[in-house]
A and B are shown apart, each in its own frame.
Chain A
């Protein structure tokens, strides 16, 4: 199997547009060379496999999706749960009483309504009677009890007793749920977050004007994290107002209104289960002229690493003096805002257009557009860069510009290898483990931009593509 005809034609037309006869020749050669990849079939097979997986990912039918959402909402939302039970109880009591006390409710509806009925014309039919019974059920259930109609038979009365007793419990629980929702909203932050909801989430420690923009970009990337916990001392109401206008589509954002430098607070944000912690210069609780205290960033990094050593920590610092402290605290990545400014300024003079390109690429990033990191199909591990590049081009029409490689900064275990006496190696491991020192230094992301064609890709590589 080779590339299908339409793609062939597209490629040929692209390559033929290279200009002169000579370049046409070059383009054709390139095309032929591309088609002669022994693994092109593999790439096509992988592309098809990816399509199938994507179809599978689209998941079950819409109705199934709807029901699964309702079920999960039912399980999570106490208020909804009791409301559903109330409705069920009303319906059951209505049906039971309509059957048992049909004559009584029929007569009653005739007395109440007169001679014109919605469903039955001059004579009330079972639907009119059912509606009248439903009216009785709601009046009874809500404890209003007008008394305009009541059961007559012993069985009807007996059923009513059951309904009233059950109603007693359900209404109490429903009232409690309403009250708890109101109280929870009054409370500062989600003090008791449900641990089950948090896994591989993002924790953002600190608040400043960047946070909404950060969340907006994360929200736009559909393959990225969707659960975020904000930890800062900002008033929850103010913070909610600050982010409300952005109307995030995917993000599920929770807030803990406490001091993020404290171990207990970070644990409350389930840091040990988080995939990343972002520490920002914290402006919450500061007066307009006050500068954020960056010591908090270093302290938080130290605390976080003691709780979750493998957590990917990204720190944003304003003062470059703190960089060395953060390195000592084993931060994974550091962002220094002014680091790129001299380059951008100089490029305006040396290469006009380049800074604008960066602006378009990064700042004005649209939904699912721009530079993004995406996974490489596992089956392509071990292939060369030009084949991976061809895969993304054919499959998605994305331009592969480089790779993000997650590597341990230094691994003592790798360094020692099989050298020396096994006893000494195991003793070193035991002693360091005992002292709580991991043999592997924290992972960092390295970037390989536009590597050579024969550069081999392994499973630690993720593609950086221009979409």
Chain B
């Protein structure tokens, strides 16, 4: 089953794409179901697909080196949870005060795959409730963009905005880590 054009338009990357073109995108995406705890993306993998979350809650996490009583080990640290609001998750979503939850009508994950060939996944994504999702392949999207360049204009602009925001955050992270490094050295 394909999603509707409205479902595609709820995702912020496609919000400025005209509905008739969203219908074209919807035609190449198939809605699938996944159970809680099922992995959608794995950190470090390469991929040419963008995952579109239509309903449910997913958790984004990263592998981190942490110091434990037994030494230094790699542990998966949750970064953020993404939760759809239109429609809301079919089952009760996970509530943990330590991880912030971002709510939106629908989400697109792995947006860089629409720009880069074999983009590396920068984080793990797994379902925390039952999730309805679709997969948009780079080839299918590229074909639509070839025929309708205006789709590329608005989608790539949103992807670029996301990339710039990520860059600013990464820059702040580097600054914080550098300060922490010198702070620790001078103590």
Chain A positions near chain B (C-beta within 8 angstroms): 330, 410, 412, 415-416, 419-425, 427-428, 430-432, 434-435, 437, 439
Contacts and interface: CB of A to CB of B under 8 A. Distances in A.
Contacts of A421: 79, 169, 172-173
14 contacts: A410-B183, A412-B183, A419-B172, A420-B172, A420-B173, A420-B175, A421-B79, A423-B64, A424-B177, A427-B64, A431-B67, A434-B67, A435-B184, A437-B184
Given A412-B180, A415-B179, A434-B67, 10 more contacts: A412-B183, A416-B176, A419-B172, A419-B176, A420-B169, A421-B79, A421-B173, A422-B100, A431-B67, A431-B180
A77 B100 CA distance: 58
A437 B183 CA distance: 9
Nearest to A422: B100
B77, B169, B173, B175 interface centre (most CB from chain A within 10 Å)? B173
Task: Using C-beta atoms within 8 Å of the partner chain, give the interface range for chain B.
Answer: 10 to 19
Interface in B42-99: 62, 64, 66-67, 77, 79
Interface in B128-187: 169, 172-173, 175-177, 179-180, 183-184, 187
Contacts of B177: 424, 428
Interface of B: 62, 64, 66-67, 77, 79, 100, 169, 172-173, 175-177, 179-180, 183-184, 187
A424 B176 contact: yes
A330 B66 CA distance: 28
Tell which of B64, B100, B183 has the most Cβ of chain A within 10 Å: B183
A357 to B, nearest CB: 40
B39 to A, nearest CB: 19
B84 to A, nearest CB: 22
A432 B180 contact: yes
A296 to B, nearest CB: 22
Contacts of A419: 172, 175-176
A211 to B, nearest CB: 32
B110 to A, nearest CB: 18
For the residues of B in contact with A, the DSSP-based class is: helix
A398 to B, nearest CB: 40
Contacts of B172: 419-421
A428 B182 CA distance: 12
Contacts of A410: 183
A9 B61 CA distance: 73
Contacts of A423: 62, 64, 77, 79
Contact of B173 (A424, A432, A434): A424
A421 B177 CA distance: 11
Contacts of B183: 410, 412, 432, 437, 439
A437 B186 CA distance: 10
B75 to A, nearest CB: 11
Contacts of A415: 179
Contacts of A424: 173, 176-177
Contacts of A432: 180, 183-184
Contact of B176 (A330, A420, A434, A437): A420
A420 B64 CA distance: 16
A420 B179 CA distance: 13
B61 to A, nearest CB: 9
Instruction: Please name the 9 residue pairs, one residue from A and one from B, whose CB atoms are nearest each other, closest first.
Output: A420-B172, A419-B172, A420-B173, A428-B180, A424-B173, A416-B176, A420-B176, A423-B79, A437-B187
A430 B184 CA distance: 13
Nearest to A435: B184
